[in-house]
Amino acid sequence: MSPVTNSILAFGLLGVGIVAAVHIVILLGQNNTTHEKYFKWAHRIGGYIFFVLYLFISVVMFQKLEEFNVLPPKAVIHSYIGIAILPLIIIKICIARLYKKFYKSLPIYGMVLVIAVYLQIPLYAGLYMISAIKSQYVIIQEKGKFVKVNVNIGRKVVQQKCATCHSLERVYAHVKTEPDWRDYVSRMRAKDPGVMTEQEAREALGYLVKNLGIDEMKMDIQIGMRIILEKCHKCHTLERVFTSKKTTAEWAQTIELMRSFDPHLLNDSEARQVNYYLSKVLARQELGLDKLKTNRITRQRDLLIR
């Protein structure tokens, strides 16, 4: 179940609880109601829906609980309040059905029940809704469909889950295209499938594509430079790259030569970004050079003439 569905269910539970409580409060507040039956039944039906919804959410939540190795403190509080709701419901049903002499205390139980559900909302569903509203989103493809993922949640997943086997530096040292990141994430998951859920993998991918991605449509010298810093020091120093004087065309040739030394060095889109960087930043101006050459030649000629 996605966090959106869970949050909606949680708000639904609170809503049903409030509706049921309001009906009984109205009934108790009026002395001679003409619609007593309606209020009683509305409260009772609300109560049953509440109970069923509560059981359903509990099953979902217990499944979630299994995913944790260590429960964070707020999850502990959340779990205990959630579990405490069950005896409250049972006591309330028992009093209403079997022990009518405690009938007067029912409104208190009802109130405590609604407050308990209310306390469950802020830490999870509430925070989730706020982050959903404030977040950045990115669209990625998932089995042929486009899905929207929350980048802020993705950042947390990467920071927590991608650092379990190696440092985050190893992640942040790379920039990759979306297919490449997708490949990496599924390879990483294959090493230990339990480390993150399908949903988390999607969120991590969204974050990686958004922040460490190569946009095929957009050339960016920053990206080209990062790829060079990351990949071009494996066989020789980076000095070799940054001290070379080449024209754009010569750079393109050199890059093809390097790719022939190691076919896995760069894929096509990385090569495009690298060439873009080289042409913008490191390329020798052909025109400028020609001028320099002609200047030198004229100067030599002048010397010879003299």
Residues that bind ligand HEC (CB under 6 A): 158, 161-162, 164-166, 170-171, 174, 184-185, 187-188, 191-192, 195, 204, 208, 228, 231-232, 234-236, 240-241, 244, 254-255, 258, 261-262, 265-266, 274
* Contact of 43 with 23, CB cutoff 8 Å: yes
Whichever of 53 and 212 has its CB closer to ligand HEC, that residue is: 212
Least CB distance from residue 158 to ligand HEC, whole Å? 6
Whichever of 67 and 262 has its CB closer to ligand HEC, that residue is: 262
* Class of residue 276 by CB neighbours under 10 A (exposed 0-12, middle 13-18, buried 19+): middle
Distance of alpha carbon 25 from alpha carbon 43, whole angstroms: 10
Kindly report the CA angle at 115 between 55 and 41, in degrees rounded to 5?
65
Whichever of 244 and 300 has its CB closer to ligand HEC, that residue is: 244
Q: Which of 157, 128, 134, 150 shows the shortest CA–CA distance to 10? A: 128
Least CB distance from residue 242 to ligand HEC, whole Å? 9
Least CB distance from residue 219 to ligand HEC, whole Å? 16
Q: Which of 122, 212, 119, 120 shows the shortest CA–CA distance to 162? A: 212
Distance of alpha carbon 11 from alpha carbon 125, whole angstroms: 8
Q: Which of 87, 97, 285, 264 shows the shortest CA–CA distance to 176? A: 264
User: Cβ contacts of residue 16 below 8 Å, gap of 6+?
Assistant: 46, 49, 50, 53
Whichever of 80 and 261 has its CB closer to ligand HEC, that residue is: 261
Kindly report the CA angle at 197 between 196 and 202, in degrees rounded to 5?
95
* Class of residue 255 by CB neighbours under 10 A (exposed 0-12, middle 13-18, buried 19+): buried
Whichever of 37 and 187 has its CB closer to ligand HEC, that residue is: 187
Least CB distance from residue 186 to ligand HEC, whole Å? 9
Whichever of 43 and 176 has its CB closer to ligand HEC, that residue is: 176
* Contact of 281 with 244, CB cutoff 8 Å: no
Least CB distance from residue 231 to ligand HEC, whole Å? 5
* Contact of 208 with 180, CB cutoff 8 Å: no
Least CB distance from residue 260 to ligand HEC, whole Å? 9
Whichever of 240 and 280 has its CB closer to ligand HEC, that residue is: 240
Least CB distance from residue 77 to ligand HEC, whole Å? 28
